[in-house]
Amino acid sequence: MNFDHIIVRYSELSTKGKNKQHFISLLRTNIKNHLSNYRGKYILKNDPGRIMIKPDKDIYQEVYNKLLNVFGISSISPGLLVDKNFDTLNEKIVEIIGDFKNKSYKLNIKRIDKNFQPISSEMVVNLAKSIYEKYPMINVDVKNPDISLNVEVRFSNIAIYINKNMALGGLPVNSSGHALSLLSGGIDSPVASFLCYKRGLNLSYIHFTTPPHTSLESLEKVFDLSKNLFKYSDGRALKLYVVNFTLLQNELMHLSKPEYRITIMRRMFVRIANIVAEKIDAKCLATGEALGQVASQTIESITTIENSSTLPILRPLICYDKEDIIKISKSIDTYTTSIKPFDDCCSLFVPKNPVIKPKIREAEFQENNIMWKEIIDKIIENNVEKYVISKEGVYKTDFDTKN
């Protein structure tokens, strides 16, 4: 017996009151985006509290695997939908159980449509009787069954399923708006981005390079990370803005207090990110900072950096231990790329003793002696490249004011 449907459940969405329909429709859109390669090869239907998907046989497993990464879905099951007729149900159940002759089973009946007859307890007795008549060697075990055979009597059909695979949960991407994520080549920022997706944010990405000090490989690494993050997105092409920061980096070599170089570099990242965010209509920034992880992530440092931002900065990892971040990084498949040993622009310009507790006033004083405003204008004008990342790959387009 082949289960030909995928039963999609969404949990948190059901608690959203008036917004519920909007959330479900976003979830449907995101699912369709992720399945765009299979257009015409699957049927998607709404059913109260569920989305039912029937893919063609040859793509069933691929579709199933993709759904496991779509935020907003709480769990999925391979399933079968049958007409609301007890005899049909009986026939199917006996057929299914025939595939599990050496196993014990338990029947779980959920009668959502209370008008359906017979009632649950009678259904269990009748179904168990039919199974016994055909397969007397198959045992019922209500405590420790090998398989749980679930029957849901719904309003438009009866759903039968065995396994339930937990998906990622969270909210559908785009339900919380659009943010610009500062993506380095490291471990943390891809994980932070994943967590932003989880709470329904749609992300564009910005990455700073300092050629020739940073290599093409380090940019490749960021492309690879973005391609990987794509599978958690809303399924539409991602935008990655690559900023050539070298002009400003060279200017930062003239600070009278080199220990402020990293702090000020980050303030410049944030300023540039604010400008790009405004152009692409992103409502906040996101970073992979975690309190106390490195010198630039003390509360004083975060305060000094935050001070240069007009937009709020989300830091989903602020209270995470590195080990926990690594665990997520492995589970979302970004870890092996993140640990490839290519320099990003920070590691190359780290002064001997970076300031651990910077002061806003001192940072401003330092900045007053360099030409940062003019250089930022130049960078925005000439040194931002826009890349589009989709299922098909990465391609470069013009950076303009449109997202």
Tell me whether residue 84 or residue 227 sits nearer to ligand ATP (CB atom). Answer: 227
Tell me which residue of 198, 207, 206 sits closest to 233, measured CA to CA: 198
Tell me whether residue 188 or residue 234 sits nearer to ligand ATP (CB atom). Answer: 188
Tell me whether residue 34 or residue 221 sits nearer to ligand ATP (CB atom). Answer: 221
Q: Which residue has the tokens 């958690």?
A: 232
Tell me which residue of 13, 9, 287, 21 sits closest to 172, measured CA to CA: 13
Tell me whether residue 130 or residue 347 sits nearer to Mg ion (CB atom). Answer: 347
Stretch that binds ligand ATP, among 49-57, 61-69, 169-177, 181-189 (CB under 6 A): 181-189
344 touches ligand ATP by CB under 6 A: yes
288 touches ligand ATP by CB under 6 A: yes
Candidate residues 228, 233, 249, 287; the one interacting with ligand ATP per rule CB under 6 A: 287
Tell me whether residue 72 or residue 186 sits nearer to Mg ion (CB atom). Answer: 186
214 touches Mg ion by CB under 5 A: no
Q: Which helix (H) or strand (E) holds 393?
A: strand 393-397
At a CB cut-off of 8 Å and minimum separation 6, what does 278 contact? Answer: none
329 touches ligand ATP by CB under 6 A: no
Please count the CA atoms within 13 angstroms of the CA of 180 that sit on its side-chain side.
26
In the complex, what is the shortest distance from the CB of residue 244 to Mg ion, in angstroms, rounded to a whole number? 18
Stretch that binds Mg ion, among 116-124, 179-187, 309-317, 368-376 (CB under 5 A): 179-187
Give the separation between CA 225 and CA 394, rounded to whole angstroms: 12
β-sheet bridge partners, residue 140: 105
In the complex, what is the shortest distance from the CB of residue 143 to ligand ATP, in angstroms, rounded to a whole number? 47
Tell me which residue of 400, 383, 398, 385 sits closest to 245, measured CA to CA: 383
Tell me whether residue 30 or residue 181 sits nearer to ligand ATP (CB atom). Answer: 181
Give the separation between CA 28 and CA 70, rounded to whole angstroms: 10
Stretch that binds ligand ATP, among 96-104, 113-121, 158-166, 339-347 (CB under 6 A): 339-347
215 touches ligand ATP by CB under 6 A: no
Which residues, 47 to 106, sit near ligand ATP by CB under 6 A?
Answer: none
Give the separation between CA 109 and CA 114, rounded to whole angstroms: 12
Stretch that binds Mg ion, among 183-191, 199-207, 377-385, 388-396 (CB under 5 A): 183-191
Candidate residues 55, 170, 186, 316; the one interacting with ligand ATP per rule CB under 6 A: 186
Tell me which residue of 97, 77, 65, 44 sits closest to 152, measured CA to CA: 77
184 touches Mg ion by CB under 5 A: yes
Candidate residues 78, 186, 235, 258; the one interacting with Mg ion per rule CB under 5 A: 186
Identity of the amino acid at 88:
T
Candidate residues 167, 183, 225, 313; the one interacting with ligand ATP per rule CB under 6 A: 183
At a CB cut-off of 8 Å and minimum separation 6, what does 100 contact? Answer: 138, 146, 147
* 3-state SS, residue 13: helix
Q: Which residue has the tokens 């589009």?
A: 388
CA distances from 17 to 12, 14, 154, 174, 182 (A): 11, 7, 21, 18, 33
In the complex, what is the shortest distance from the CB of residue 262 to Mg ion, in angstroms, rounded to a whole number? 11
Q: Which residue has the tokens 């490749």?
A: 220
β-sheet bridge partners, residue 241: 206, 386
Stretch that binds Mg ion, among 28-36, 180-188, 240-248, 296-304 (CB under 5 A): 180-188
Radius of gyration of the chain from its Cα atoms, rounded to whole angstroms:
27
263 touches Mg ion by CB under 5 A: no
354 touches Mg ion by CB under 5 A: no
Tell me whether residue 107 or residue 305 sits nearer to ligand ATP (CB atom). Answer: 305
Binding site for Mg ion (CB under 5 A): 184, 186
Binding site for ligand ATP (CB under 6 A): 182-184, 186-189, 206-208, 287-289, 293-294, 296-297, 344-346
